[in-house]
Structure 1
Amino acid sequence: MPVAGRVDKKFCCDMCRNAFNNRLNADGYNMVRRINNTLRKNRRILEELCPEDKCKTTKKVLLAKGFDFNFLTNIRPTLKGSVYHFVYDYGYLELDHDFYLIVRDKRSEK
């Protein structure tokens, strides 16, 4: 199809320009989409298990619901040397005997 219009025009129409850019970025977008979906799933699981500010659960329960321990948004060490792993506003702390303490970060409500 001939390209009409400006001298520096690269695409014949918006549809061709969009199709080109979608193909160019498809791999990167799919990777980001998969990571974001996993993070959202992890957060939903923590929120479901912890309707209050804090609660305890087991590793077995988390894994049964599909929680993926490889995906988190930040790590927060405490002054006592413990390390909380956060998925957005929900965090978990590994306790003894495969138990986990789940907490909700109240600072995120501000």
Structure 2
Amino acid sequence: MDRLCQDCALPLKGRADKKFCDDFCRNNYNNRLKSEDSAVLKRINFILRKNRTILSKLNPKEKAKVQRKKLLTAGFNFDYHTHTYLAQNGNLYVFCYEYGYLAINEEEFLLVKREESLWLS
């Protein structure tokens, strides 16, 4: 049975463990794999950056209360965040990078900005 190039599907000649015809096919194959991964990462990073921008615009003074409707109208996506923080009092803060929110109730949120010194601990 002939072994085939993983990129162009032409028969391979040479070593038994050879996977590609040449460097062009090897590079083309690996670049195609990376571009598929890259598309997913780009989409997720776009959503995260948009969420961060919305939180920063609605929270100019490091703390602010805002309605769920206002976040949703601005395009905020509650399904995407970078991390959470459980405070000693049991409150769960959800963050998009340094900007976050705490659900006060189902319709109201407290927006916060995490201080740089807290990131280091």
Q: TM-score range by the shorter chain?
A: 0.7 to 0.9
Measured on the aligned residues, the alpha-carbon RMSD in Å equals 2.3
1:4-58 deviation digits (Å, cap 9, x = unpaired):
xxxx996355xx6554322122221111111111000000000010111111101
Q: Which amino acid aligns with 1:11?
A: D
**3-state secondary structure, aligned to 1:64:** helix
Quick one: structure 1 residues 95 and 12, their matched pair in 2 at CA, closer, same or farther if it must change by over 3 Å? closer
Provide the residue aligned with 2:66 in structure 1: 57
User: Rg: which structure is higher?
Assistant: 2
- TM-score, normalised relative to structure 2: 0.73
Provide the residue aligned with 1:75 in structure 2: 84
Q: Please point out which of 43, 46, 53 is paired with 2:55.
A: 46
Quick one: structure 1 residues 27 and 12, their matched pair in 2 at CA, closer, same or farther if it must change by over 3 Å? closer
Provide the residue aligned with 2:9 in structure 1: none
**3-state secondary structure, aligned to 1:96:** coil
* Stretches of structure 1 lacking an aligned partner (at least 5 in a row): 1-7
Give the number of equivalent residue pairs. 102
- TM-score, normalised relative to structure 1: 0.80
- The structure that is helix-richer by fraction is 1
**Sequence identity (%):** 39
Provide the residue aligned with 1:23 in structure 2: 32
The range that moved more, 44-53 or 93-102, is 93-102
Q: Please point out which of 8, 11, 17 is paired with 2:22.
A: 11
* Stretches of structure 2 lacking an aligned partner (at least 5 in a row): 1-17
Determine which structure has greater relative contact order: mean sequence separation of CA pairs < 8 Å that are 6+ residues apart, divided by chain length.
1
